[in-house]
């Protein structure tokens, strides 16, 4: 094991949050562990010396791109294990030409996003936000039955856009509830959707028939702006749109027009740009829940990601199959 060399290329903050002492101690038992900057300088002689014998590079949120200039310094590199979700910020698809294996903890990160989404679905369909705003404004008894005449978690259809890791998790978490579940995904057939516990629909049908729509599509060239004016116009009046994926999947100008008009409601954990302009109406609209990209792993949830990354490195060391490998095909079709 002393001949197995692990290089951590993370920000100090992310490393501390993701690899607390007990998990770091486990990592230390697997081989020689070295730390380098999150965005390594390929001109650094110290870096060249460390990477020359590297078997694994462990990256995370905030890590820089491991481009050709970095990978050329690591001739023995077997794998890059990413202690976060999407690997696109750290490697290009040309990495596969070097027979370097890639592992991502996107599946571990999918769980808290799905949990956030489930919570928001239930609260929105129950009408909690609508009654809370009305009650606070009135400061007296209100006609709850009138406000909540169409609210509740018995029977309405929830539409899921994309059977991604997170989309599948959301569908799984929704199973115990009395809700109809529809899914749109061009790569999913009807039988596979049924096996997940959902009905496959095309996008227009899903948008027009769902009381709540939750977006879980990766941001790819073909999904950028996939929810535009035409798609948003199909949403029912007072339908809810949840976006925990990427802001750019939705045309932001058209979405804002619909929200300012009050025709639909939204839960936005992501926007484009990531932080809305100070003058954006999103900050004050009562029909919008706006959160700062908190759905993914935060706080102690990061320990799950760190543990799974260390477990993945252990599998590599012992010649076992990787559980969370990102193949070239997965890289092309996932975020």
Residue 1: is its pLDDT beyond 70? no
Predicted pLDDT of residue 268: 99
Tell me the pLDDT tens digit for each residue of 233-286: 999 999 999 999 999 999 999 999 999 999 999 999 999 999 999 999 999 999
Predicted pLDDT of residue 2: 64
Contact 304, 312 (CB under 8 A): no
Mean pLDDT of 143-148: 90
Q: What is the pTM of this model?
A: 0.90
Separation of alpha carbons 57 and 295, rounded Å: 26
Tokens of 200: 């496959």
Confidence of residue 333 (pLDDT cuts 50, 70, 90): confident
- Which distant-in-sequence residues (6+ apart) come within 8 Å of 188 by Cβ? 163, 200
Tokens of 42: 């390929």
Predicted pLDDT of residue 130: 87
Q: Which domains does the chain have, with CATH numbers?
A: 5-104+299-333 (3.40.50.720), 109-290 (3.40.50.720)
Tokens of 284: 């004050």
Q: Which residue has the higher pLDDT, 27 or 130?
A: 27
Q: Which residue has the higher pLDDT, 114 or 3?
A: 114
Predicted pLDDT of residue 36: 97
Q: What letter would DSSP give residue 39?
A: S
User: Which contiguous run of DSSP H or E holds residue 199?
Assistant: strand 199-200
Which SS3 state, helix, strand or coil, does residue 242 take? strand
Q: How many CB atoms lie within 10 A of CB 282?
A: 18
**Average model confidence (pLDDT) across the chain:** 96
Question: Half-sphere exposure (CA, 13 Å, Cβ side) for 175?
Answer: 11
Confidence of residue 332 (pLDDT cuts 50, 70, 90): confident
- Which distant-in-sequence residues (6+ apart) come within 8 Å of 233 by Cβ? none
Separation of alpha carbons 176 and 10, rounded Å: 39
């Amino acid at each position: 094991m002393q001949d197995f060399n692990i290089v951590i290329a993370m920000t100090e903050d992310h490393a501390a949050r993701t690899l607390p002492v007990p998990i770091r101690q486990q990592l230390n038992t697997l081989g020689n562990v070295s730390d380098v900057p999150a965005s390594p300088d390929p001109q650094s002689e110290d870096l060249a010396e460390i990477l020359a014998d590297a078997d694994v590079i462990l990256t995370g949120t905030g890590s820089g791109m491991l481009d050709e200039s970095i990978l050329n310094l690591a001739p023995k590199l077997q794998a890059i294990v990413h202690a976060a979700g999407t690997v696109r910020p750290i490697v290009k698809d040309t990495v596969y030409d070097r027979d370097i294996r890639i592992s991502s903890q996107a599946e571990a990160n999918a769980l808290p996003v799905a949990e956030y989404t489930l919570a928001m679905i239930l609260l929105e369909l129950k009408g909690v936000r609508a009654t809370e705003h009305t009650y606070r404004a009135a400061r007296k008894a209100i006609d709850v039955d009138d406000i909540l005449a169409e609210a509740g978690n018995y029977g309405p259809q929830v539409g899921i856009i994309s059977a991604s890791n997170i989309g599948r998790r959301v569908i799984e978490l929704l199973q115990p509830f009395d809700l109809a579940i529809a899914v749109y995904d061009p790569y999913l057939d009807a039988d596979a959707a049924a096996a997940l516990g959902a009905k496959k629909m095309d996008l227009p049908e899903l948008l027009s028939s769902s009381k709540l729509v939750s977006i879980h599509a990766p941001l790819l060239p073909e999904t950028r702006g996939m929810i535009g004016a035409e798609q948003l116009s199909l949403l029912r009046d007072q339908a809810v749109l949840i976006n925990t994926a990427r802001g750019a999947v939705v045309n932001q100008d058209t979405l804002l027009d619909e929200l300012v008009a009050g025709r639909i409601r939204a839960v936005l954990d992501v926007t484009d740009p990531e932080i809305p302009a100070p003058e954006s109406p999103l900050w004050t609209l009562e029909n919008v829940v706006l959160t700062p990209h908190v759905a993914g792993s935060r706080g102690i949830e990061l320990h799950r990601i760190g543990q799974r990354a260390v477990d993945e490195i252990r599998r590599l060391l012992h010649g076992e199959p990787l559980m969370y490998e990102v193949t070239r095909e997965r890289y092309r079709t996932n975020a």
